[in-house]
Structures are given as C-alpha cells and as structure tokens.
Amino acid sequence: MKKVSMTIMSIGLGLLLTAPAENAFATGGITGAVTFSGTPPKNPRVPVAKNIDYCGKEIEMPLLLVNSQNKGVQFTVVYLEGVEGGAASKTVLRMGAPERKCDFVEHVSAIQKGSDLELKNQDPVLHNPHPFNPKGGTVFNVALTEQGQTVSKKIRTEGVMRIQCDSHVHMNGWILSIPNAYFAVTDASGNYKIDNVPPGKYKLVAWHESWKVTNAHELDEAFKKAEEDLKSGKITDMKDAQLERPAFGEPTVITKDIEVKDGGAEKVSFELK
C-alpha cells in the first residue's frame, strides 16, 4: 500500500512541476512586412576598379530593393529596442558567387552583440572585410585571400556598423549589432518574422539604409578622370586609379509601440516613403 501511495504522489508532483513551467515560459511571435510607397528610384551603378575580368566593369548598388509584385523591401532590419536576452542563430556574411559576385551577399545583416560573425569568401579573388563602429573606428580588418576561406570574429560593438571591402571600392554594406536576439532582416518579399518573444510591451524598430548617395557627382568625376588617365598612360590599370567610395544620407528609422501576449502572434508592418 505504501508503494502505491508513493507512486501516486510522484506522478502528482511531476504534473505539478511541469504544468506551470509551460505557462511561465510562454512566448509569442512578431510577423509583418516592410513595403515601399510610390515609385522607387533606380539604384546607382558604380564602376569596378579591381578584378574587372572576374567582377565586371560596374555593379549596381543594392540600396533599395523593392519587390515588383508586392512592393516589399529587402534588407530592412526589424528589432526590439530596450530589451536584452534571447539566443540568436549564427550570423554569416558571405562575399561573392554564386549569389552575387564581388559584393556582400548579405548587403545588410544583423547580429546579436557578443556573438560570432562568420565571414566567408566565395570568390576566387581577395576580399578584405573592414567594419567601422558608429564613431568611425575599426572593428576588425581581415584579409580573406582564398575562395572558400572562412573566418569568425566576435562582435563586441553595439549599434550600426558600416562595412567595406578594402580591396574593392564598390563593396559596401551594413551590419547592425543588437543587444538581444529579437531581430530579423526582411527577405526579398519584404517579410520578416521574430520568434520566441517573451510577453510584454516593447518598441519595435525598422531600420533601412539611405538610398541616396550624397557624393554622386564626385563619384562620376573621379571615374571620368580615371578613364582619361588610363587612355593617356598615366596609369596602366584601373586598380591604380583614385576612385571615390560612395557616401550615404541618413537612414530611415521607424518605431512602433507593440504588445506581445502569451503564445500570440502580433502582425506589424512598416511603410517606407
């Protein structure tokens, strides 16, 4: 009789311990889309100065990628502000083929502060990824000399980091380092999804880079001079030209107050103009 009583007590205790735990750790999700209002401007094309035989003579800067079917905007970072915690998945930043030769495949990416950023060179040419912190200081500077080479770097900086390839003046992008795991980067349809958000009230932020190049005239003039120097023999290769790196205007930042409930799915969308 004692054995039966002890068994019943054990089962009851197990149920008592497990049931509240499920409720205590209930989470919600946030989904939505980022769209563009109106007719999007054309992205500028910039000359390529190095490895032209492989990279091509020019490349389109993917500053504003708008889906023609639904107006969805790719490469917008959506994240919760004023909260820490969570565990984000690994962030990988790829350079080059097969997705996009001689450029950052993840033109805009996001990472949880304190985690590792994996950098992968998919091109058969040298790439030198070099991010800068919000104050303009170097975060790291690494040479990826071989195709398939991968290096990991721990990101301790917080905030918006501009990244460039020191080997290719046309290669530029952005990395947002966020102190929590509750973020996402919109896909080619402008959609995003943030999972496992604890219940609560938050500020949800959408960040998109500026699609305005502020030194477009200087870029054109520098390229014209480089072509003239090449024809006159002052330089023998375009890689020796003093080409300008593009500069950008202020990003678009939109903030919304939201509430995430137990097990609920909040839908929040943003519109860029």
Residue 23 scores a pLDDT above 60: no
Report the distance separating Cα 37 and Cα 54, nearest Å.
36
Q: Higher pLDDT residue, 31 or 5?
A: 31
Residue 24 scores a pLDDT above 80: no
Residue 90: inside a domain, yes or no? yes
Tokens of 42: 């054309």
Can you give the residue range of the structural domain that contains 252? Answer: 2-213+248-272
Residue 101 scores a pLDDT above 90: yes
Reduced 3-state DSSP string for the chain? CHHHHHHHHHHHHHHHHHHHHHHHCCCEEEEEEEEECCCCCCCCEEECCCCHHHHCCEEECCCCCECCCCCEECCCEEEEECCCECCCCCEEEEEECCCEEEEECCCEEEEECCCEEEEEECCCCCECEEEECCCCCECCCCCECCCCCEEEEECCCCEEEEEEECCEEEEEEEEEEECECCEEECCCCCEEEEEEECCEEEEEEEEECCCCECCHHHHHHHHHHHHHHHHHCCCCCHHHCCCCCCCECCCEEEEEEEEECCCCEEECCEEEC
- The full length of the chain comes to 273
Residue closest to 178 by CA, chosen among 201, 202, 199, 148: 202
Average pLDDT, the chain: 88
Residues 217-255: pLDDT tens digits? 787 787 788 778 777 887 777 777 767 788 889 999 999
Query: What confidence category does residue 256 fall into, taking pLDDT thresholds of 50, 70 and 90?
Result: very high
Residue 237: inside a domain, yes or no? no
Region of poorest pLDDT, from 24-28, 79-83, 111-115, 134-138: 24-28
Report the distance separating Cα 129 and Cα 138, nearest Å.
11
Residue 215 scores a pLDDT above 70: yes
Domain harbouring 265, CATH code: 2.60.40.420
> Under 8 Å CB-to-CB from 94, ≥6 apart: which residues?
104, 105, 106, 120, 122
- In sequence order, the β-bridge partners of residue 173 are 163
Residue 49: inside a domain, yes or no? yes
The reported pTM is 0.85
Residue 13: inside a domain, yes or no? yes
- Domain count of the fold of the chain: 1
Residue 107: inside a domain, yes or no? yes
Residue 52: inside a domain, yes or no? yes
Residue 69: inside a domain, yes or no? yes
Residue 64: inside a domain, yes or no? yes
Q: Higher pLDDT residue, 220 or 268?
A: 268
Residue 8 scores a pLDDT above 90: no
